[in-house]
């Protein structure tokens, strides 16, 4: 079955419909705001809202997690630097309920004062857990170094201090400003007989949101830093037997003409089991418990990152080889890209695209993000065509653009009093 998305405008609210012949319905709302849009004294507001709106709405004054579970469904929510998302999945016969629930979450949450202190405790424990996890901590420190002069460097969940200072008034102010029709896209995956009826249900359930009427918002803009030397943050933990390391370089946003070249370059570097890093560091030498690379594309900037769990006695040799591979990928030498490799990489990427677009949820997820950040949608065929057109020269060019030694940012968590290797 072809999962071809259809976009409809309902009084300023974009709606994406994806037909599916299964016995379930999935409704998702994507809101174009996150941690980078928060004021300095209200860090973590977006993430707090992600939790708190689930404590009840005007029409459903109950714990929404428990309510959906009682219906045999699934609910999910998350926060990033630029987005908030709420998703409800129920049986097909409960399409109207699924639409209504998500509409209520973004339109009329109660934000009950009596429950806010309990939510603060939950989020505080979440922050502690993330700080205690070595890999998460290394990633956070690397990211903070990379974007330390920008809103993007802020922790998504906030800090202990900002969570403690959170009030219903602050949350309501944030919600009223950002939860507006021009900043929300609704997606529905399902098997419906009457499309008109589904759209009517959406318009009715999201009516309070639509009534807010605002469509254009001023958002944070990233200003590129003139970084002149590598940055590093070492977190000492004497009890650790291995070392968590993250390396990162600033990249570019979703609409950049070099995005596809960067995607393929990442697969070659560390985005698969045949990649340079996995093969050389883990398979051949056994120097890593885990290793890989991954990109992160935001609206106006991005990052290319390498994460690794390394034995303490191999950290110096492993870090040196990781850098050698990274900086050599854009050249014509030992670590440079070979024509046959690029062909295999393209095949790998096109296979991943096929798998993603074979799922209606995958199609919906891509459509929502594409519309939110680029104002358009991509088909599987378009993405495959773009991949086929990438050349070795373009791979080399994107490597030279991203892998600038002076722009390296590193986060390290391990049993060290001082940095064990040189940058």
> Residues 281-332: pLDDT tens digits?
999 999 998 999 999 999 999 999 999 999 999 999 999 999 999 999 999 9
Q: Cα separation of 76 and 78, whole Å?
A: 7
pLDDT at 419 exceeding the cut of 80: yes
Q: Report the DSSP beta bridge partners of residue 18.
A: 189
With 90 as the cut, is the pLDDT of residue 245 above it? yes
φ, ψ at 136 (rounded to 5°): -60, -40
Per-residue pLDDT tens digits for 399-412: 999 999 999 999 99
Q: Using the predicted structure, report yes or no on whether residue 2 has a pLDDT greater than 80.
A: no
Measure the CA–CA gap between 360 and 3, rounded to whole angstroms. 6
CA–CA separation, 195 and 183 (whole Å): 23
- CA nearest neighbour of 188 among 14, 391, 415, 405: 14
Looking up tokens 């009950």 gives 112
Structure tokens at 135: 């890999």
- Mean pLDDT along residues 92-96: 95
- Supply the angle between the helices 339-357 and 380-388 in degrees, to the nearest 10: 180
Please enumerate in sequence order all residues whose Cβ is within 8 A of that of 33, keeping only pairs 6 or more positions apart, or say none. 46, 82, 83, 84, 174, 178, 183, 219
Tokens describing residue 67? 């309510």
CA distances from 246 to 104, 132, 254, 302 (A): 40, 16, 22, 15
Burial of residue 261, with CB atoms counted within 10 A of its CB: 0-12 exposed, 13-18 middle, 19 or more buried: buried
Residue 225: predicted pLDDT: 87
Helices 392-402 & 339-357 angle (0-180, nearest 10): 80
The HSE-up count of residue 120 (CA atoms within 13 Å, CB side) is 17
Using DSSP, state whether 41 is helix, strand or coil.
Answer: helix
pLDDT tops 70 at residue 395: yes
Phi and psi at residue 404, to the nearest 5°: -95, 120
| Long-range residue pairs from 380-383, CB within 8 A, at least 24 positions apart, any chain | 380/353, 380/354, 380/356, 383/260, 383/350, 383/353
Q: Could you read off the pLDDT of 170-199 as tens digits, one per residue? A: 999 999 999 999 999 999 999 988 899 999
- Burial of residue 118, with CB atoms counted within 10 A of its CB: 0-12 exposed, 13-18 middle, 19 or more buried: exposed
pTM score, whole prediction: 0.95
Q: Hey, what domains does the chain have and what are their CATH numbers?
A: 6-212 (3.30.830.10), 231-414 (3.30.830.10)
What average pLDDT does the segment 71-81 reach? 98
pLDDT at 1 over 70: no
Question: What is the pLDDT averaged over residues 262-279?
Answer: 95
Q: For the chain, what is the mean pLDDT?
A: 95
Strands ordered across the beta sheet of 13-19: 6-10, 13-19, 184-190, 24-31, 84-91, 74-79
Q: Which two tokens stand for residue 44?
A: 């973590």
**395 phi/psi in degrees, rounded to 5:** -60, -45
Residue 258 has pLDDT above 90, yes or no: yes
Q: Check if the beta carbon of residue 403 is closer than 8 Å to that of residue 293.
A: no
Tokens of 193: 């007989």
């Amino acid at each position: 079955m072809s999962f071809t998305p259809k976009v409809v405008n309902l009084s300023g609210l974009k709606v994406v419909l994806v037909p599916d012949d299964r016995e379930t319905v999935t409704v998702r709302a994507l809101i174009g705001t996150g941690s980078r849009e928060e004021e300095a004294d209200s860090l973590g507001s977006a993430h707090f809202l992600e939790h708190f709106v689930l404590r009840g709405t005007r029409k459903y004054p109950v714990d929404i997690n428990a309510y959906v579970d009682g219906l045999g469904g699934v609910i999910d929510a998350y926060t990033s630097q630029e987005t908030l998302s709420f998703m409800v999945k129920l049986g097909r016969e409960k399409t109207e309920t699924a639409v209504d629930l998500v509409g209520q979450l973004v339109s009329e949450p109660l934000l009950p004062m009596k429950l806010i202190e309990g939510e603060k405790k939950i989020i505080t424990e979440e922050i502690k857990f993330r700080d205690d996890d070595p890999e998460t901590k290394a990633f956070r420190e690397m990211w903070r170094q990379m974007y330390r002069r920008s809103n993007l460097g802020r922790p998504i969940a906030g800090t202990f201090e900002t969570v403690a200072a959170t009030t219903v008034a602050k949350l309501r102010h944030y919600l009223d400003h950002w939860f507006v029709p021009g900043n929300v896209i609704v997606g529905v995956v399902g098997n419906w007989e009457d499309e008109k009826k589904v759209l009517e249900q959406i318009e009715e359930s999201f009516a309070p949101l639509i009534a807010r009427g605002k469509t254009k918002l001023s958002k944070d803009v990233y200003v590129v830093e003139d970084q002149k030397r590598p940055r590093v943050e070492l977190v000492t933990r004497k009890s650790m037997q291995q070392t968590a390391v993250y390396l990162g370089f600033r990249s570019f946003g979703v609409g950049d003409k070099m995005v596809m070249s960067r995607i393929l370059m990442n697969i070659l570097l560390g985005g698969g089991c045949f990649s340079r890093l996995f093969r050389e560091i883990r398979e051949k030498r056994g120097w890593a418990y885990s290793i890989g690379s991954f990109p992160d594309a935001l609206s106006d900037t991005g990052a290319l990152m390498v994460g690794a769990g390394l034995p303490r006695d191999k950290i110096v040799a492993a870090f040196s080889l990781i850098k050698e591979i990274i900086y050599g990928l854009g050249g014509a030498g030992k670590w440079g890209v070979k024509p046959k490799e690029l062909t295999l990489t393209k095949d790998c990427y096109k296979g991943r695209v096929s798998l993603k677009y074979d799922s209606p949820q995958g199609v919906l997820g891509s459509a929502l993000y594409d519309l939110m950040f680029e104002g358009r949608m991509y088909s599987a065929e378009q993405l495959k065509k773009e991949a086929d057109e990438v050349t070795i020269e373009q791979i080399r060019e994107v490597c030279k653009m991203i892998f600038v030694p002076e722009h390296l940012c590193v986060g390290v968590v391990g049993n060290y009093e001082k940095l064990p290797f040189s940058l």
